[in-house]
Structure 1
Amino acid sequence: MASPPKPLPLSACMSLDDLAEVAASKLSPRAAAYYHSGAETLFTRNRNRADWARIGFRPRVLLDVAATPNMRANIMGFDSSLPVFIAPAASAGLGHPDGELCLSRGAGRMDIAQCVCTYASVAPKSIMADFKTDAQRRGGTLFFQLYVPKVKKNAAKLIAMAKENGFEALVITVDSPVIGKRDDDDRFRALDKRKPGDDEPPFELPDLPGKEPGTLRGSHNPSFTWSDLQWIRELWGDEKPIIIKGISTAEDALEATRVPGVRIDGIYLSNHGGRQLDYAPTAVQALLDIRARAPEVFAKTAVYVDGGIMRGTDVVKALCLGARGVGIGRGFLYSLSAFGTNGVLKAIKILSEEIQTTLRLLGVSDIAELDERHLNLTEFGITRPRL
């Protein structure tokens, strides 16, 4: 058998990893640095995915799984065809000229949700307009992800824009009071400033440690706290959900369920794709931490996760651990970089097939049946009692 062509054609891409491999052959150096980067040693970025592989399954057999399993899920108030949504990620335009429009078209045509980033390369208003007028749309919805700017009151403008344009949920990112140290990004910018033949610039005496001007690596508001959620809820209103994104510990998960006078409709466990704090908990570790130390959180609020998820098996594992829905960021960035909107559609189709197959092989006919009994967690020191 001849070796497969490089890069693979769309018809031969059988996984999100295949789509990522095609994307790698097409990405510009700038896009590759941004999409692949993580904080410092890349430990958390890499462990995000590795921890899903540490979870095994416990399949049951001789059960009737002929019917298509029910995969519909309520994602932040939206009835989605899959327990999957497109996670917020900036700069999709680095991978394809249509940028986030590829993602919104994929979401609408496959009846899932997309969370649009504050720093989308296409204006959120334009993304919503394209989404609403897409002739092939069969459902779907759009959420808006909010970073609180350095000037806190400027968040009001972003919230008003999201309300005016009909975004159905507000997803507030809270793990970025400062930007994590991402060596690949910083190195690319440093080298990009140099022209061929340039001499190395003279090294300047740095500021004394702790005496740097302003907030080091500060792009957002570093004084944003739990108490600020009240005025955000007042601006957003009570009709649509607010989700808190960037929680990694049981303490903060529990705190989000009891913010005085503020209704929070869900928490979103995320370490920002391993791009913020290196050695932060992975999605798996965060889910297990909550299950062990504050299990009541799952009854009090909806829990969503992202981080290292590239397979339908990963999605099913997350649902077994209590997640209501799963966000995928890099996987969809690679998909649009490889084949534009068609790449996004193919990625969603692949995930649907993988989730269906996994459910049938587990002996499950509805994602509502999934729980920890379907998992082998011995690598995390969790064992089940004897029958």
Structure 2
Amino acid sequence: MRLSHCHNFHDFRTLARKRLPGPIFNYIDGGADDEVTLRRNSEAFNQCDLVPRVLTGVKDIDLRVEVMGQTLELPIYCSPTALQRLFHHQGERAVAASAAKFGTMFGVSSLGTVSMEEIAKQYDTPQIYQFYFHKDRGLNRAMMERAKASKIEVMMLTVDSITGGNRERDLRTGFSIPFKLNLSGLWQFATKPMWGINYLTHEKFSLPQLDEHVDMGGGASSIGDYFTNMLDPSMNWDDVAEMVKFWDGQFCLKGIMSVEDALKAVDIGCTGIVISNHGGRQLDGSRSSFDHLAEIVEAVGDKIDVMFDSGVQRGTHVLKALSLGAKAVGVGRLYLYALAAAGQGGVERALQLMKAEIERDMRLMGCSSVAELSKHNLRFR
């Protein structure tokens, strides 16, 4: 299978599976426990139908949206995801360059493999910095100061990961950073030699946002240990309110799944929230993001920018979320499979296909701009 044969999310996933060692593919692909929420995230869209209008005189399609103080040329953005240079040696550079080409936001993760400074300097795209809340309050402040110095536009605090989800696929293969693979995992690496050659012949793997704070190389720590030992499960609203005040700019909380929490985010001065269950990777059995979107938008949509992610695979999924009031829609696995399949060329193709899908679907809906989408063009079964 070639990149030119990839026409949708599932095609990129298939090609990524061919290119990646099994443990790394399953790290991207998997969710928590029985993966019920992972599956439900995409299935939820199928319970909602679009109601198109005809003869509306659609000529030009305007996909621009305003969110978190940024103007985006597309209503989708590249959500921050960890460890991207494990999936392809270009990593975040490929994704940032692609986001810049399509005029949309790109998120750098605390567990990113390229520094926020390099991304901010090299790529002209609105940038999100996603970070976690650490027990070391000085470290939290230092990370925000570093982001300020890099001219990061949007701060995104992930609030649904005070401990890591139970990702049993990773336990079965022994996937971790540093690698601690079992025999099955090692065999799957051996069957994908090109991945190994690329990994060894390019720059050394690192986590530049955390290198000064976490030893990922000597076996003393791992990603799992990072979540267990360094993140602060006692984080509360007062802690976050202090951070919002210190940042004094666009600040959003990622991982909001209740109306009560959305209202609290408004109260402490956040400018945005992301309705997200972390792609089904944290609390299995939690509600799908899409199922909860309308309720939260109704409560706070006029007070704060509501963004949305988890389970998005199609342009119609994006239109359904926008119709319910999401200001913009985050994609993660969509571009990660494409990155693993073919680096920057893969990510650009994935974004181009998604843009074309959304434009075509807007025409078929009889809508010229995102602003014309509303809950009136949806019906739930």
> Is the partner of 2:308 in helix, strand or coil?
strand
Aligned partners of 1:92 and 1:121 also within 8 Å = yes
C-alpha deviations, 1:232-262, integer Å up to 9, x for none?
12432x2x30011100111111221112xxx
Distance 1:358 1:317 in 2: 11
* Post-superposition offset of 1:21: 1.5
Distance 1:64 1:234 in 2: 47
Structure 1 pair 369/194, CA: closer, same or farther in 2 (3 Å)? Answer: closer
Q: Which runs of 4+ in 1 moved over 3 A?
A: 190-196, 214-219
Distance 1:108 1:330 in 2: 19
Residue in structure 1 matched with residue 74 of structure 2 by the alignment: 82
Aligned partners of 1:84 and 1:326 also within 8 Å = yes
Structure 1 pair 192/230, CA: closer, same or farther in 2 (3 Å)? Answer: closer
Match for residue 326 of structure 1 among 318, 324, 329:
329
Instruction: Work out whether 1:162 is the aligned partner of 2:162.
Output: no
* Post-superposition offset of 1:146: 1.2
Structure 1 pair 228/57, CA: closer, same or farther in 2 (3 Å)? Answer: same
Distance 1:218 1:44 in 2: 26
| Residue type of the alignment partner of 1:88 | P
Residue in structure 1 matched with residue 284 of structure 2 by the alignment: 278
Indicate the larger mover: 148-157 or 271-280.
Answer: 148-157
Distance 2:119 2:227 in 1: 33
Residue in structure 2 matched with residue 316 of structure 1 by the alignment: 319
Pairwise mapping of residues 110-259 of structure 1 onto structure 2 (< 5 A)? Answer: 110-131=102-123, 139-189=124-174, 192-194=180-182, 217-236=228-247, 238=248, 240-259=249-268
* Post-superposition offset of 1:192: 4.4
Aligned partners of 1:177 and 1:218 also within 8 Å = no
Distance 1:235 1:257 in 2: 16
Residue in structure 1 matched with residue 272 of structure 2 by the alignment: 266
* Post-superposition offset of 1:343: 0.9
C-alpha deviations, 1:289-341, integer Å up to 9, x for none?
325xxx23111111000000011110000000110000000111111111111
Aligned partners of 1:37 and 1:184 also within 8 Å = yes
> Is the partner of 1:74 in helix, strand or coil?
strand
Quick check: which has more Rg, 1 or 2? Answer: 1
Match for residue 85 of structure 2 among 68, 93, 101:
93
Residue in structure 2 matched with residue 304 of structure 1 by the alignment: 307
Distance 1:27 1:193 in 2: 15
* Post-superposition offset of 1:193: 4.3
Indicate the larger mover: 280-289 or 369-378.
Answer: 280-289
> Is the partner of 1:257 in helix, strand or coil?
helix
Distance 2:3 2:169 in 1: 29
Structure 1 pair 215/72, CA: closer, same or farther in 2 (3 Å)? Answer: closer
Residue in structure 1 matched with residue 12 of structure 2 by the alignment: 19
Residue in structure 1 matched with residue 212 of structure 2 by the alignment: none
TM-score normalised by the chain length of structure 2: 0.85
Structure 1 pair 195/19, CA: closer, same or farther in 2 (3 Å)? Answer: closer
| Residue type of the alignment partner of 2:234 | S
| Residue type of the alignment partner of 2:19 | K
Residue in structure 1 matched with residue 190 of structure 2 by the alignment: none
Residue in structure 2 matched with residue 210 of structure 1 by the alignment: none
Distance 2:148 2:156 in 1: 13
Pairwise mapping of residues 40-119 of structure 1 onto structure 2 (< 5 A)? Answer: 40-65=33-58, 67-119=59-111
Pairwise mapping of residues 337-376 of structure 1 onto structure 2 (< 5 A)? Answer: 337-376=340-379
TM-score normalised by the chain length of structure 1: 0.83
Residue in structure 2 matched with residue 381 of structure 1 by the alignment: none
**Structure 1 runs not aligned, ≥5 long:** 1-6, 132-138, 197-213, 379-387
Distance 1:143 1:346 in 2: 22
Residue in structure 2 matched with residue 136 of structure 1 by the alignment: none
C-alpha deviations, 1:330-358, integer Å up to 9, x for none?
11111111111111111111111111111
Distance 1:281 1:320 in 2: 19
> Is the partner of 2:122 in helix, strand or coil?
helix
Aligned partners of 2:294 and 2:325 also within 8 Å = no
Distance 1:216 1:230 in 2: 22
Distance 1:233 1:215 in 2: 23
Indicate the larger mover: 299-308 or 54-63.
Answer: 54-63
Aligned partners of 1:304 and 1:323 also within 8 Å = yes
Aligned partners of 1:180 and 1:217 also within 8 Å = no
Distance 2:282 2:244 in 1: 26
* Post-superposition offset of 1:275: 0.5
Structure 1 pair 215/316, CA: closer, same or farther in 2 (3 Å)? Answer: closer
| Residue type of the alignment partner of 2:86 | L
Distance 1:287 1:216 in 2: 28
* Post-superposition offset of 1:160: 1.1
Task: Determine which structure has the larger helix proportion and give its number.
Answer: 2
Aligned partners of 2:68 and 2:154 also within 8 Å = yes
* Post-superposition offset of 1:129: 2.9
**Structure 2 runs not aligned, ≥5 long:** 185-224
